[in-house]
Amino acid sequence: MSPTARRWWTPSSTPGWRCWKGESRLVAELLHIDPERLKGRHVSRAVEGLRRGGVLIYPTDTIYGLGCDITAKGAIDRIRLIKGREVKKPMSIICSGLTDISRYARVSNFAHRVLKRCLPGPYTFVLPAAKVTPRILQSKQKTVGIRVPDHPVPMALVNELGNPIVTTSANRSGWDVLTDPLELESELGHQVDMIMECGQLPVLPSSVISLVGDEVEILREGEGDLSLFREQS
């Protein structure tokens, strides 16, 4: 069966998972997409899976992301199993914009100015978490990582879903970043529900910037211009 012919098949016992007729194991649906000509039916299909508690691999303005609906605790647990990640290591969320961010994080005037200047973009901003943010996504310091990627796919997903998407890099913890769709399908295709792929992506992840306490701290150097943050840190 060719990748382009794949479609959702029979539900397994775990909500959100699907397998193909004739397959002995679970295999992700593969969607070849063009971000510049993104089709609404592809977005709707992905969002349908997210609403059922599915786990999705999708492109961003940095690397491929592994994500689910923020309200789907079972899917969040699945992502942790896929990653082999300890519970104490929090994941970030993708928000639709500043209004959405203000619901899930406590945004000071200083942080608002920084976010307004830098987003959308290849940054993850660490902010004090709001009460509505699930505890499983908060660090021990009660912070949360926030992303607003400069990429049409994740933005279309969160806008149609109406909720943020929990996000992390599409690889196992401690392993190399997977940038090739064939590698993604080979390594993770049996553990996720859908892969939205648009070819090879960059190797660098997002830069991680803490704005806690109205102080700028670069926690990880990745994609994006960091000169502004170095001037303020």
- In tens, the pLDDT along 45-91 reads 999 999 999 999 999 999 999 999 999 999 999 999 999 977 668 89
- Tell me the average pLDDT across 89-114: 97
pLDDT one-digit tens code per residue, 193-214: 999 999 999 999 999 999 999 9
Whether residue 25 has pLDDT greater than 80: no
CATH number of the domain at 3-232, please? 3.90.870.10
Q: Which run of H or of E encompasses 82? A: helix 73-83
> Model's pTM, two decimal places?
0.87
Backbone dihedral angles phi then psi of residue 180, each to the nearest 5 degrees: -100, 125
Measured distance CA(166)–CA(158) in Å, rounded:
10
If DSSP codes are grouped into helix, strand and coil, which group holds residue 13? coil
Residue ranges of the domains in the chain?
3-232
